[in-house]
Amino acid sequence: MHAVSDWHCPSLLPRWLTGCAVLTIPAWMVWCLVAALGEYKVRDAAVAIGLLFNASVMLMCGPLRKLYLLHRYQATVEAEERKSQIASQRGIHGGNF
């Protein structure tokens, strides 16, 4: 609910959380139905596979977002360093003299 209410947040984290929920809800419904309505032999396997899938999606969504943010931050820092190096090479007057 929080992710949908803050949809236009500048950090885009609510959208990321909503996407993660959208990916896991159908899988949750399928393995619950298979576990409830399936044969006795299939129930344990359905629960195990469903939980593994949901855990994998959740564990991938969090770190992937953080890796994307880290990569973008490092690119920004490198660009700023290049700008400062160019400015320092020109000198204090910007190379006008």
pLDDT tens digits for range 42-90: 888 888 998 998 888 888 877 887 888 889 889 899 989 888 888 777 7
What SS3 string covers 42-71? HHHHHHHHHHHHHHHHHHHHHHHHHHHHHH
**Environment class of residue 21 by beta-carbon count within 10 Å: exposed (0-12), middle (13-18) or buried (19+)?**
middle
pLDDT tens digits for range 16-54: 778 888 888 888 888 889 888 888 888 888 889 989 988
Supply 4's token pair. Answer: 């949908």
Using a cut of 0.85, tell me whether the model's pTM lies above it: no
Q: Are 14 and 7 in contact (CB under 8 A)?
A: yes
